[in-house]
Structure formats: structure tokens, C-alpha cells
Amino acid sequence: MPAPPERVVLVHQSKRRSITSLEFAELEGLALAAGADVVARVTAVRRVPHPATFVGSGKATEIARSVQSNNADLVILDQAATPVQERNLESVVECRVIDRARLILDIFALRARTSEGKLQVELAQLTHLATRLVRGWTHLERQRGGIGLRGPGETQLETDRRLIGKRIRSLRSRISKVRSQRQLRRTRREKQSVPTVTLVGYTNSGKTSIFNKLTGSGALVADQLFATLDPMMRKLELDDFGWVILSDTVGFVSGLPHALVDAFHSTLEEVTSSRLLLHVIDSSQADVDGRIRHVEGVLSEIGADQVPRLNVYNKTDLESEDGFGIPSRAHFERGVRVSARTGEGIDQLCLIISQFLGQERVQRTLRIPPGCGRLRARTYQIAQVTREDIDEEGNWWLQVVVDDTTVGKLEAQDQFHSGLWS
């Protein structure tokens, strides 16, 4: 029989006195995604977090009363808190306290399915835990010395730190091997001139729904945060262009722990090496522009801000008539409107992708002399050959569709010289 869900009190702290339900919505969504039962919500207004208890003594007492009256098991803070703040607040409310970063890490641990995903999540968790080991040894603070009681706390703490450090180094080594394997696969795709188009966006924006609509895949779609964690790749044939690789990635969220960004670097490298990013945006949400800015900030953080991207406004069938969720004109003019549920705009999206990827491609003629069979075979590997003829002298005349990158790869071959282009 499964254990009952943990009863949770949510704490949202803001600089403003007026806190709307929308500000609680994402935190509650994260809690529900972790399997919690939200029993109460507490708001706090402070310009800066209290150095000792995060919320201040008066608000800590209020949270304690809410915990007691609702028989809560856990308090979740909507901002990052220090280990000292968490520990001090725990002593007042008499139950566990975690912050937003710890909550997101827990969700990732719950969602990870592949061996790579599990390695990345474990690395992020241990990196986060390494700064909070002292919390596990608070019972030793009551020991003031005496026979048999001198020093074991610090000794055990240092032992744990060494063990965690050793495990972190092991995980980083294994993830480094995964990164190398990913790089080999990317190199192979580049040699075959198959561009990668990657879906990015805020969590629960509908990336996987669009992925399924374009590729005919049956990937899990759920109305919850971080339903997709492990990246997926499928081949997609576009009219007037040919084959591309479509990649679906983990969604971004505000307050994403830096440990997660670092741990998932090998996965996020797929984003930086893409030819085009499809920034999927839930146009039915209220704070559309805010979410756009956050995703753009994360893309900049991982070094993908220079990759061309197209804004894809999804869930247009859910937009309110008063324009509640419509993004600003500056963003809207650079995008396309679609509905993954109804199929509206999907054909237009495919056309735009084809036009973008094809704008740098031109048709050229390549003459390959007899005895240069390796160059001919290599041309078929890295370029799109649309026609081949052989003249009386045994020369191969190839009609190829190439871009600047492909031209560079052909001209780097040892049997190539500039006189082969016609």
C-alpha cells in the first residue's frame, strides 16, 4: 500500500504587500508535481529574508501554528534559504523545512528514467547536500564533551564530506563519458549534414505535445511541471528540405538550481549545438513576457543565446477573449501561433522551419575525377546529392545541395582542390 502524500504548508515571501494567487500557483504546481498534499499557504512581506529564520520570529510562529493545526509534515519556502535559516525555522515549526531548490531537485529525482538522467540528478543533489551536511548532525550540538563524547560529531561530519566528495568525483567522471558519447553522435550527425532543431521553453508549455504532433511519437504528455526530464530525439522529414533531428528537452523554471544547470550540462549541450531553437511558449498564461525573459536568461547562461530561435506560441485554443495571456507585440511579431491539441498552425510551423534551414543552402555542381572514389563516397555522406552523371572521361558530375558548413567539410577532404567546383 503506497504511503499517504506528505501534508505541506507553502510559504511565499515577497517585497510587496499585495500577493496574488498567481504567485502561489507555480509553487503549488511544483509541490503537486512532487506528490505533496498542500494543506495551507502562508504569505510573508519582507524586503530581505531574515538572517536567522528567513521569515522573522513573528511569521515563524504563525507558520508553526499552521503546521500544528493542519498536522503538516513539511514546510516549503518559495525562495532559496541558507542551511542556518532552514535549521532555525525547523526548530520553531517542529517539522522539516526545504526551499524551492530542494523541491525542484526532488522532482527531478522522481522524474529521471534513463541512466544518464539519474546520474545528473544525483550529482545535483549531492552538490546541494554538500553545503547542508551540518543539518544532519544537530543532535551533536547538545553534547558538551565528557568521556566518550569528545569529537565524534566533527569526525563523522568530515567523513561524510569525504564520502560525498568521492561520489561527486565519480559521478562527474561518468557524466563526462556520457558527454563524450553525445559529442560523437553530434559529430556523426554533422558529417551527415542532418541539422538538429531543438524544442526549449518553460516547463509545461507544451513542448512534448508539439514534439509528438510533428514526429508522430507517443512520448508522455501530462499537465504537470517537469513531465519530461530525459531528452528525446526523433527524425522528422520536412517538405522542401529533407530530414532533420527534432530534440525535446527538459523545461526551464524560475529559481532553477545552479547545481542542476551544471549537472545537466551534457544534455544542455544539445541546445547549444542546434541549428534552430523552437522556443515554445504557453500563450494562455498570464505572465507570458516574464516566462519568455526567464527562458532567454537560461539560454544565455548555458551559452545558447546566439543560436537562432523562433518563438512558438502554443495553446492558442486556450487564450482568453480579452487577451489575458497574449504576449507583447515585440515578442509576438517574431513567432508563430500553434495549438498542439487542435493542430492549428503546425503546417505553417513546418514551412517556416524548412524555409529557415533552407535559406543558406544552394545547389552547386561538383566534378570528381576518376580515382577519387573516396571523395565521391564522402560527398554522399555529408552533402545532399540530387543527381549524378558520368562523362566520357570517367568524371563524376554531382549536383549537390550544400550550405557553407558542408562546403567547408568537402573542401577539407584530402582529394579535393578548388578546380572541382563548376
Handedness of CA 26, 31, 33, 34 (dihedral sign): positive
Residue range 355-379, pLDDT digits in tens = 888 776 788 898 999 988 898 888 8
Lowest mean pLDDT among 48-52, 253-257, 258-262, 322-326: 322-326
Tens digit of each residue's pLDDT (9 = 90 or more) over 257-300: 666 666 666 567 778 878 889 999 988 877 788 888 888 888 88
Rounded to an integer, the average pLDDT of 36-58 is 89
- Give the C-alpha separation, 163 to 82, whole Å: 22
Tell me 52's DSSP state.
T
The residue among 48 and 218 whose pLDDT is bigger is 48
264: three-class secondary structure by DSSP: coil
Rounded CA-CA distance 27/31 in Å is 6
- The pLDDT of residue 229: 54
The answer to whether 379 and 367 are in contact (CB under 8 A) is: no
pLDDT at position 403 over 90: no
Q: How far apart (Å, rounded) are the C-alpha atoms in residues 141 and 285?
A: 48
Q: What is the pLDDT of residue 333?
A: 55
Q: Is the pLDDT of residue 147 over 60?
A: no
- Residue type for 230, please? D
217: number of CA atoms within 13 Å, CB side?
A: 19
How many Cβ atoms are within 10 Å of 56's Cβ, its own excluded?
16
Mean pLDDT of 10-18: 78
Judge whether 364 and 402 are in contact, CB under 8 Å: yes
DSSP 208-252: HHHHHHHH-------SSTTS--S-EEEEEEETTTEEEEEEE-PPB
Q: Is residue 251 scored above 80 in pLDDT?
A: no
Check if the beta carbon of residue 362 is closer than 8 Å to that of residue 414: no
Mean pLDDT of 11-20: 72
Q: Which of 20-24, 168-172, 238-242 is the least confident region? A: 20-24
Quick one: pLDDT at residue 221? 52
For residue 63, is pLDDT > 90?
A: yes
Portion of the chain with pLDDT greater than 90, in percent: 14
| Greater model confidence, 93 or 223 | 93
pLDDT tops 80 at residue 161: no
Alpha-carbon span 257 to 19, nearest angstrom: 24
Spatial neighbors of 360 by CB under 8 A, at least 6 apart, are: 403, 404
Task: Supply the pLDDT for residue 218.
Answer: 63
Runs of H (alpha helix) within 112-216:
115-129, 152-191, 207-215
Does residue 390 register a pLDDT over 50? yes
**Does residue 88 register a pLDDT over 50?**
yes
Domains and CATH numbers, the chain: 7-98 (3.40.50.11060), 183-358 (3.40.50.300), 362-420 (3.30.70)
Rounded mean pLDDT, 345-349: 90
Mean of per-residue pLDDT scores for the chain: 78
Contacts of the segment 214-219: beta carbons below 8 A, 24+ positions apart: 214/246, 214/346, 214/349, 214/350, 215/246, 219/248
Instruction: For residue 279, give the nearest of 266, 292, 294 by alpha carbon.
Output: 292
Contacts of 100 (CB under 8 A, 6+ apart): 27, 30, 76, 77, 78, 79, 80, 255
123 is written with which cell numbers?
A: 550529482
